[in-house]
Amino acid sequence: MADDENLDMEKEMAAAMASDAATSAESGADDIEKEMAAAMAADAAKATEEGPLKTDDIEALLDQATDSLNQATSAEASSANGASAFNLQELSAEEGGSQPIDLLGEVELDLRIELGRTVMLLEDVLKLRSGSVVALDKLAGDPVDVFVNGRLIARAEVLVLNDNFCVRVTELVGA
């Protein structure tokens, strides 16, 4: 009974190894990985046909895997030694090749000034009417947050100029 369970478990492991090997071979792995995956798939298929592996077989497979790994790492080291440095030539601006900064002037951005925040229940939101007062988490006179495309870029103070609300940037926030 226990031998049957071990055999079933070994078959499942071999099938999983074969599946993993096939997947890695299809996923664009390099040549060494493809060869190793093919060898693993063949060994897994052989193991399911012959029955359970013996200790000597497992040791031989481990030695073979170690040798393959050593060959792969030595091949990578030798190819790395053959690499040469890439030197960039001095870059210089071409006449008439520069783009004017005016092109950026047409880019639309989402600018948002946040006076403060609060958390409200839906019930409280539905009760809002004209003249309702909503308390925020900032005090009067505290700087407001300036967001561009959802990113905090500055803090500012609120002003009134010619009956219009304005903001004066007091601090730029680093990225």
Q: Which CATH architecture has domain 101-172?
A: Roll (2.30)
pLDDT score recorded for residue 105: 78
DSSP 119: -
Q: For the chain, which residues make up each domain, given as ranges?
A: 2-79, 101-172
| 14 CB burial (10 A radius; 0-12, 13-18, 19+) | buried
Distance of alpha carbon 161 from alpha carbon 163, whole angstroms: 5
Helix axis angle for 2-26 and 31-50, nearest 10°, is 160
Mind listing the pLDDT tens digit of every residue in the chain (175 residues)? 555 666 666 667 666 665 665 555 455 446 667 777 777 767 666 655 666 667 777 788 788 888 887 887 776 666 555 666 667 677 666 665 556 677 777 888 899 999 999 999 999 999 999 999 999 888 888 999 999 998 999 999 999 889 998 999 999 987 5
Distance of alpha carbon 44 from alpha carbon 18, whole angstroms: 6
For 157-174, the DSSP string reads EEEEETTEEEEEEEEEPP
Distance of alpha carbon 112 from alpha carbon 156, whole angstroms: 12
pLDDT score recorded for residue 98: 57
Distance of alpha carbon 16 from alpha carbon 151, whole angstroms: 47
pLDDT score recorded for residue 153: 93
pLDDT score recorded for residue 25: 47
